[in-house]
Amino acid sequence: MNPRAIKGILIKDLKEVRREKMVVFWVFVFPLMWVTLMGGLWGSPGSPVTVDVGIVNPGGNFSTLITGVMENVTINGTHLFDVREFPDVSSGLEALKRGSVNALILFPKDFDANISSGLQGKVVVYFDRTDPQDYQIVSSIIRSFFSGVGREFRERKMEMMMAYIPGEYFETYNLSEERIREYFLASAEPIALEERSVRGEKGEGIRFYVTGFIGIQFLFATMLSIGSSVLEEINKGTLRRIAASPTTPWDFLIGKSLSTLITITVSILVGIAYARLVFGSTLFPSPFGWLIIFTAAVFSMSLGLAIAMLTRSERSTTAIVNLVSMPLLFLAGIVIPASIMPEWARPIAHYFPLGRALKVLRLSDIYERSPGELMGDFTYVLIWSVVMAVLAVASYAWAIKRME
C-alpha cells in the first residue's frame, strides 16, 4: 500500500466533485430538496385544517344550535369548518360528488324530537372516499367534533337528572351529589381516554426526516459515486496506467473509497446544519449513530462497486442503481415508517441491510435506546457489510484481471 498514492487519488477526487454536476446533484442538491419538501410538509405541526362541510338542517332548535357551533368553532384562530347549508339531500350530495364539500351532514326531521324526549338523536354523514387520505382526515375531524358535542349534551342531561333526585336520598344512602354525578357520567361514558405527550419536543418530526435524508445518501449518492467514478477511470485507461506505475489498483480503490466516504460525510453534515437553519431543529448522530452510518456506507459503497464491476457500463450501473434504489426509497422505511406499511412490505424494511441500519439509527438517536439493546440489529448490518465488501473486492479483482 502506497500512502502517498492514496492521498493523491483522494485529493484529486475531492477536487473533481465540484466539477461533476451529476455528483453534486445526487450528493447535495437532491437530499436537501427532499429534506425541504418532507420537513415543510410533515416536519412540524403545521396550520389547522379547515373542512368544507355541507349541512341539511330541517330547522329544529338543536340542529340549528349544532350548526351554529360548527360555524364558529376555531383552532388557533382558524375556523375548523366552512359550513354550507343545502335545502335538501340531493343538492348536497351533488355538491359532495363534485368536490365542492368534503362531507355532507344530514339532521333527520325527528332529530330534535328525539333529543328533547331523551332519546338518541341520529345524524347521518356522507363522505366521498375517492381520496383515502382526505377521507381519514375529514372523518376523524367530524367524529371528534360530534363526540365533543355528545359529551356536552350528556353533561347537560346529567344536570337535569340530578335536579329530580330528592335531597333526602343523599342522606339515606350516604352519597354525595358529586358521587352520584360520577356514577351517571360513568354509565354514559364507561371509558375515558386521556391523551398525554411523551416528549412534546418541537421539531421531533424533522428529526425523523433528517434520518431519512441520511438514508437517501445510502441509496443513491454512496452507491452511484463509487461505482460510476471507478468505471469512469477504467474507461479512461487510468487503471492501465496505474498498473505500469508504483501505484497499485488497490491504492486506487482505497483512495476512491475514502473520497466517497468523506464526500458523503460532508453532505450529511451539510444536511444536518441545513435542517437546523431552516426548521430550527435537527438530529446530530451520537458516536454509535456515526458507527451505524459508516457501516451502512460500507455496505452501500460495496453494493455500488459490485454492480459497476459486473455491468462494466456507466449507463447500466446508473440504471440498475436507480432501479434498486427507487422502490427501496419507499419500501426500506426511509420515507414511509415501517409501522404503517402493508404486511407484505414490512419484511423488506426489516431485512434489507440499509433499512435495518436506518431503523437502528432512529432507535438509537431519536428514541435514545442504548447500544446494548441494538447490538443484535447492528451486528446484522455489520455482517452484511462485510459480506458485500468481500463480493465487491472480488468483483474488482476480477475486473482488474480482465484488463491484464
What percent of the chain clears pLDDT 70, i.e. is strictly above it? 89
Instruction: Average the pLDDT over 185-201 and give the result.
Output: 60
Output the pLDDT for position 209.
Answer: 85
Query: Could you tell me which residue, 244 or 260, shows the higher pLDDT?
Result: 260
SS3 (DSSP) at 23? helix
State the DSSP H helix or E strand holding residue 58, giving kind and residue range, or none if neither: none
Residue 185's Cβ-count burial label (10 Å; 0-12, 13-18, 19+) is middle
Output the pLDDT for position 175.
Answer: 75
Break the chain into its structural domains and give their ranges: 3-43+204-402, 51-188
Least confident of 178-187, 211-220, 332-341, 343-352: 178-187
pTM of the model: 0.70
Output the pLDDT for position 52.
Answer: 94
Query: Could you tell me which residue, 237 or 295, shows the higher pLDDT?
Result: 295
Average confidence score pLDDT of the chain: 83
Output the pLDDT for position 390.
Answer: 95
CB 230 within 8 A of CB 395: no
What does the block give as the cell for 172? 339515606
Output the pLDDT for position 222.
Answer: 82
Q: In the predicted model, is pLDDT for residue 288 greater than 70?
A: yes
At 51, give phi and psi (nearest 5°).
-100, 130
Least confident of 52-66, 165-179, 274-288, 388-402: 165-179
Q: In the predicted model, is pLDDT for residue 203 greater than 50?
A: no
Least confident of 28-37, 53-62, 365-374, 382-391: 28-37
Options 3.30.1360, 3.40.1710, 1.20.1070, 3.20.20; CATH for 51-188 is 3.40.1710
At 4, give phi and psi (nearest 5°).
-65, -40
Provide the CA 52 distance to its chain's centre, in angstroms. Answer: 27
Least confident of 109-118, 186-195, 199-208: 199-208
Q: What is the rounded (10 degree) CA torsion for 338, 339, 343, 344?
A: 0
Instruction: Average the pLDDT over 263-277 and give the result.
Output: 90
Q: How confident is the model at residue 43 (pLDDT cuts 50, 70, 90)?
A: low
Task: Return the percent helix, strand and coil in the chain, to nearest 5.
Answer: 70, 5, 25
Q: How confident is the model at residue 194 (pLDDT cuts 50, 70, 90)?
A: low
Output the pLDDT for position 202.
Answer: 44
Instruction: Average the pLDDT over 101-126 and give the result.
Output: 90
Please list the alpha-helical segments (H only) found in 177-336.
Answer: 177-188, 204-216, 223-235, 238-243, 249-279, 287-311, 314-331
Give the Cβ contact number of residue 81 at 10 Å.
23
SS3 (DSSP) at 199? coil
What does the block give as the cell for 85? 347549508
Q: In the predicted model, is pLDDT for residue 188 greater than 80?
A: no
Query: Could you tell me which residue, 109 or 322, shows the higher pLDDT?
Result: 109
CB 202 within 8 A of CB 281: yes
Output the pLDDT for position 186.
Answer: 73
Q: How confident is the model at residue 290 (pLDDT cuts 50, 70, 90)?
A: very high
Q: Which residues contact 80 (CB under 8 A, 6 or more apart)?
A: 48, 49, 50, 51, 70, 73, 74, 141, 145
